[in-house]
Amino acid sequence: MNRRDSLQKHTIIALVEDRPGVLNRISSKWRQRGFNIESLAVGHSETPGLSRMTFVVDATTDAEQVVKQVDKLIEVVNIRDVSAESIISREMAMVKVQADRSNRNQIIELVDIFGAEIVDVGPDSIIVEITGDEEKIESFIALLEDFEVIELLRTGRVAMLRGSAISHPQEEQEEPERYAGFEPPYSAK
């Protein structure tokens, strides 16, 4: 068994300050430990000034060590490996497929079967958007390869805990004491 076979995918969710350089600092921690970031999705969270990152990394059981190191970064509000928890995960893909009169109807049938959406139609191509779990995306792309995929874009996994569980519970914290008149540049004001 080689090293690749012994790796498993970990889904890590981090709540971080929305500031320049944060992504670089966090991804450097993974790189330093030799982990490959398979996918990364970043976007605004429900809290102004904070972004939510979802990492999928190939790692052995020592992924926990990197999570602990990343958690020490000042810009990281909270980080959690949700791999062993009950989650809902999705990915979005856009696929540009060669399409003409001879195959357009077949492609439209696949789009309907998979619950995808046609977002652009040209004289010799169609762009399709699909959202779902990774297996659904993989199956859809595999079937489209019969029609010549011209271009493919995938977002990577985003994930949330099922039910009422929250990945990053809000903790009541005292506001840190600041010097009079000083507000950091990333303040929500």
- Please name the residues in contact with 76: beta carbons below 8 A apart, sequence gap of 6 or more: 14, 15, 16, 17, 26, 70
Residue 185 pLDDT class (50, 70, 90 cuts): low
- Tell me which residue range forms the domain holding 102: 88-159
pLDDT at 145: 93
What does the block give as tokens for 72? 């020490």
Is the domain of 13 the same as that of 53? yes
pLDDT at 139: 96
Who wins on pLDDT, 7 or 3?
7
Residue 184 pLDDT class (50, 70, 90 cuts): low
- pLDDT tens-digit readout, 13-71: 999 999 999 989 888 888 887 788 888 899 999 999 999 999 888 766 567 878 888 88
Domain endpoint, select from 41, 57, 85: 85
Is the domain of 12 the same as that of 81? yes
Q: Is residue 121 domain-resident?
A: yes
Is the domain of 16 the same as that of 81? yes
Structural domain tally of the chain?
Answer: 2
Domain endpoint, select from 49, 66, 85: 85
CB contact at 8 A, 25 and 16: no
- pLDDT tens-digit readout, 138-183: 999 999 999 999 999 999 899 999 988 787 766 554 444 444 555 5
Is the domain of 23 the same as that of 55? yes
pLDDT at 102: 92
Is the domain of 75 the same as that of 114? no
- pLDDT tens-digit readout, 64-97: 878 888 888 889 999 999 988 899 999 999 999 9
Q: b/e per residue, 14-24, with b = 16+ CB within 10 A?
A: bbbebeeebee
pLDDT at 171: 57
| Domain containing residue 153: CATH number | 3.30.70.1150
CB contact at 8 A, 55 and 30: yes
Average pLDDT over all residues of the chain: 85
